[in-house]
Chain A
Amino acid sequence: MSFINQLRPYPAFIFVLAVVLSMPVAVVLAHVFVPSGDIWQHLSSTVLPDYIRNSLLLMLGVAVGTLLIGVTAAWLTTMCQFPGRSVFEWALLLPMAMPAYIIAYTYTGMLDFAGPLQTSLREWFGWQYGDYWFPQIRSLNGAVAMLTLVLYPYVYLLSRAAFLNQSICVLDVSRTLGNGPWKTFWKVALPLARPAIIAGLSLALMETLADYGTVQFFGVSTFTTGIFRTWFGMGSAAAAAQLAAGLMVFVFALILIERYSRRKARYHHTSRRHQDLRRFQLTGSRAFLAFLFCLFILGLGFLLPALQLLSWTIHVADTVIDADFLRLLVNSLSLAAFAAVLALILALVMAYAQRLYPGKLVSGAVRVAGMGYAVPGAVIAVGVMIPFAWIDNTIDDLARSQFNYSTGLLLSGTLVAVTFAYLTRFLAVSLQTVDSGLTRITHSMDEAGRSFGFRPLQILRQIHIPMLSASLMTALLLVFVDVLKELPATLILRPFNFNTLAVKAYELASDERLAEAAPAALAIVIAGIIPVILLSKTITRSRKLKLAIDEN
């Protein structure tokens, strides 16, 4: 029965969609079967062990870091009351607006051996090189720190949403059973929020795997840097694709872990009675510690680097900010908004297919469509470039032979190609968010709707949309911010005379002109802040809305 279901137009469409969206990854992976000579032997006897070790350590470090910071911060701001809580609630999301490569450049500028901090230390104490110990910013640990600082918001965001959505009853029961805040956290809230936490973590880790800018700048050899070295330096696309395939193994492992954790955790709240959270009132030193923790994270992840960018910007503002700069801003914003809307539509279409036609084919197709998230943007870009150019050239050949007319390149080098690359790369973000929102709407709610005689569209309008609105907004904004920060695919695929803020910031920073790169970087951050704040408000509001619904 279920297989026949899968043959209906809707699931079939999903299947086709997944094939199209996974094309870039497939094109790259297809190179796996091209023989690459003795390069593998060379790689495995020299650098490959380093790639594997560094990628694993990087993931491990970022996992530990984002979990500790993200979950702790989410718990503190949702469940505890301490000075500054209502500001931290949204402000802790701000580091999300900071691209990893930019925070890396910024901290290097500040903390490097030749940077102002170490130079001042040497001047004050009369030290020389080697006289003192200072953490090496450009190292594996540095990369872990940078990525943790900008990626913890994924864990924070999703676990916060989960904590907010937990029925207060469960927590009340825990409290009446005599559990204090700690015990309630460990025994009740954390297990309940686990699927959301793991979803956030897997997003953060996929970003980690795909990161190129930070590790490259810090000189840490990972799979990503290895792909480009092999591809361009050694001129072997095949070996590079084989490395990319190795990267995909990590991704599959992540996806499986995420799936597995969800399967084991089928918690549905039986009571839908929500009420305002009664937060644990923190006092004295505990309140102070909570405040300090949040301030510390916010300071490192956002305030400090943003201030540095601002000071550089002020330094160079008069030469860099002009009419061209405004155009960059408009380009970046409109492209990001457009891609975010498209990604949301696709995610909805796919998530509903999964709900309406449960089965291996559809869920497999949806998984496959989201695979691009962990693939470095530049790899995706090449995967987009190859089939697009092929289609264009085939059409052109046809037109030339049939009508003696050259159509030229229709899609290559247009914003269509750029947008398509964004969708391949970031669909997973909106998919995860919409999907996790949708799983919170239990099937019994649908059945209840049906027993009221609701038609499917009515169920959608009356039940799903109000309950989903926070997830939809989240999906939209996450992709918006991601596209705003996206660099490699934009760089490779963009049309003539078209630049974005990220391209500008990268070009100048790669020429080692950090100060001149600052205005564009700062603009990305500022443009990213607004949606991030909106995001936080939406989640809080959605809870209030739910409260209102429950009371009626």
Chain B
Amino acid sequence: MRKAGIFPSVFLGLSLLFISGCSNESENEIKEVNLYSARIESLIKPLLDEFTEETGIKVNLVTGNADELLQRLQNEGRNTPADMLLTTDAGRLHRAMEEDLLQPVESETLQQRIPSSYRHPEGYWFGLSLRARPIMYVKDRVDPAELSTYEALVEPRWNNRICVRSSSNIYNQSMVASMIVANGEAATEEWAKGLVANFARSPQGGDRDQISAAAAGQCDIVIANTYYLAGMLTSNDADEKAAAEKLAVFWPNQDDRGVHINVSGAGIIKDAKHRDNAIELLEFLTSDTAQQWYAETNGEYPVRDDIETGEVLEQWGDFRADSLEMDKLGEFNADALRLMDRAGWQ
């Protein structure tokens, strides 16, 4: 029995140690803001450090998968320590708003800087960067004149030539959701079946893997986000760079709705305890420095149109982006996934 008695007290003691260790800092009057981020640490920390240096506001960071962070916010309820949620797609921001986790923000700076299509009309969330998902082709095997739209990728000439990743991935789910909005569910399902029939291999790996596979000759056409290609082009690894150089970007659907894009963005948590600091951080993330950093370091397109994007992005030229409301991507996500299940898109 003695043994049994020791355990709870040891556990409790150590627990208290942990808790006090964690809350120590917040008791001093440090200016801070607590951030839940679906963007991985190495792709956000440098900016946050710069923000801290500039403003003296310390940023506490938890990274994780967006869905799991949402789950966490939901459970923590009004006691959540989080002030701000940062995601890499608009669908999740929409879901956070639907679940009553965010609060509207009025900021002239934000409204002025961010085009209205990339932020929520009432200020529940704000886009910070654009992620375009165009078609990429292998330069010496595909004539870009053959390419036109996503829809045209089901043509028999692309049989056994297309590489794209799994339907478990949010980028594909969003893309298909955007097509459901544009063409309706039945037509999109037909399209998905046709696309699957043209796959060069069963979906595997991430976007970079599709690019590498195309460069190595396994397929000729890839659907992938541009910043992966940009990342490979600026890589230290010579092989990776050489592979990426074999591909070029084609902007599809330029004569109709435009290329599929998603936004990374952020919203302020409903019960934020450091609301003002969080707004300051949001504003910082749309500043010239931060926006340029997105373009040059991450290879994403700035959400503002008055920012220099650097030579990697400039070589691909301008594009017309799909102007559908970003909310729709979240709304049709489940439908998109089911549709892909039915089409046999693994």
| Chain A residues with CB under 8 A of B75 | 385-386, 388-390, 412
- The smallest C-beta distance from A413 to any residue of chain B, in angstroms, reads 6
Among B10-18, B114-122, B182-190, the stretch that binds chain A is B10-18
Binary contact track B278-314/A, C-beta < 8 Å → 1, others 0: 0000000000000000000000000000000000000
| Chain B residues with CB under 8 A of A499 | 41
Residues of A whose CB lies within 8 Å of any CB of B are: 9-10, 13, 42-43, 46-47, 108, 112-114, 116, 118-119, 122, 128-129, 138, 216-219, 221, 225, 228-229, 231-236, 315-316, 338, 342, 345-346, 348-349, 352, 378, 381-382, 385-386, 388-390, 392-393, 396, 406, 408-416, 491-492, 494-499, 503-504, 507-508, 510-513, 515-516
In the A-B complex, the 7 residue pairs with the closest CB atoms: A114-B212, A389-B75, A496-B60, A232-B67, A219-B204, A114-B216, A507-B40
Contact B173 A233 (CB under 8 A): yes
Contact A492 B216 (CB under 8 A): no
Within 8 A of A (CB), among B234-280: 236-237, 239, 243
CB < 8 Å neighbour of B18 from A9, A10, A42, A416: A416
Check: B62 CB closer than 8 A to any chain A CB.
Answer: yes
Contact A415 B1 (CB under 8 A): no
| Cβ contacts A to B, 30 pairs, < 8 Å | A47-B341, A112-B213, A114-B209, A114-B218, A119-B216, A122-B216, A128-B217, A129-B216, A129-B217, A228-B168, A231-B67, A338-B14, A348-B3, A352-B3, A382-B71, A389-B75, A412-B76, A413-B81, A414-B18, A415-B18, A415-B22, A491-B64, A494-B62, A496-B34, A504-B41, A511-B42, A512-B205, A512-B209, A512-B228, A513-B231
**Alpha-carbon distance between A382 and B71 when the two chains are bound, in angstroms:** 8
With A216-B168, A494-B62 in contact, do A512 and B208 touch (Cβ < 8 Å)? yes
Check: B104 CB closer than 8 A to any chain A CB.
Answer: no
| Chain A residues with CB under 8 A of B202 | 219
**Alpha-carbon distance between A460 and B159 when the two chains are bound, in angstroms:** 71
Check: B31 CB closer than 8 A to any chain A CB.
Answer: no
Contact A385 B217 (CB under 8 A): no
- The smallest C-beta distance from B277 to any residue of chain A, in angstroms, reads 14
- The smallest C-beta distance from A383 to any residue of chain B, in angstroms, reads 11
7 further contact pairs, Cβ within 8 A, besides A507-B41, A510-B206: A233-B173, A345-B10, A410-B19, A416-B19, A496-B60, A510-B40, A512-B206
With A112-B212, A229-B337, A507-B63 in contact, do A413 and B76 touch (Cβ < 8 Å)? yes
Contact B81 A496 (CB under 8 A): yes
Q: Which residue of chain A has its CB nearest to the CB of B12? A: A416
Contact A225 B79 (CB under 8 A): no
Contact B341 A495 (CB under 8 A): no
Q: How many A-B residue pairs have CB under 8 A?
A: 177
- The smallest C-beta distance from B66 to any residue of chain A, in angstroms, reads 8
Contact B40 A233 (CB under 8 A): no
Contact B237 A497 (CB under 8 A): no
Contact A221 B62 (CB under 8 A): no
Check: B325 CB closer than 8 A to any chain A CB.
Answer: no
Contact A408 B79 (CB under 8 A): yes
| Chain B residues with CB under 8 A of A386 | 75
Within 8 A of A (CB), among B59-81: 60-65, 67-68, 71-72, 75-81
Check: B215 CB closer than 8 A to any chain A CB.
Answer: yes
Residues of B whose CB lies within 8 Å of any CB of A are: 1, 3-4, 6-7, 10-11, 14-15, 18-19, 22, 34, 40-43, 60-65, 67-68, 71-72, 75-81, 95, 166, 168, 170, 173, 202-209, 212-213, 215-218, 228, 231, 236-237, 239, 243, 333-334, 337-338, 341-342, 346
CB < 8 Å neighbour of B43 from A234, A414, A503, A511: A511
**Alpha-carbon distance between A497 and B36 when the two chains are bound, in angstroms:** 11
**Which among A234, A382, A498, A499 has the highest number of chain B CB atoms within 10 Å?**
A234
- The smallest C-beta distance from B247 to any residue of chain A, in angstroms, reads 12
Contact B334 A342 (CB under 8 A): no
| Chain B residues with CB under 8 A of A396 | 79
| Chain A residues with CB under 8 A of B346 | 219, 221
- The smallest C-beta distance from B298 to any residue of chain A, in angstroms, reads 10
Contact B207 A512 (CB under 8 A): yes
| Chain A residues with CB under 8 A of B337 | 229, 233-234
**Alpha-carbon distance between A495 and B64 when the two chains are bound, in angstroms:** 11
- The smallest C-beta distance from A213 to any residue of chain B, in angstroms, reads 13
**Alpha-carbon distance between A9 and B76 when the two chains are bound, in angstroms:** 35
**Alpha-carbon distance between A119 and B205 when the two chains are bound, in angstroms:** 18
Contact A129 B166 (CB under 8 A): no
CB < 8 Å neighbour of B215 from A114, A236, A415: A114
| Chain A residues with CB under 8 A of B205 | 108, 112, 138, 217, 219, 512
**Alpha-carbon distance between A496 and B30 when the two chains are bound, in angstroms:** 15
Q: Which residue of chain B has its CB nearest to the CB of A119? A: B216
CB < 8 Å neighbour of B68 from A42, A411, A414, A491: A491
- The smallest C-beta distance from B83 to any residue of chain A, in angstroms, reads 11
CB < 8 Å neighbour of A349 from B3, B18, B77: B3
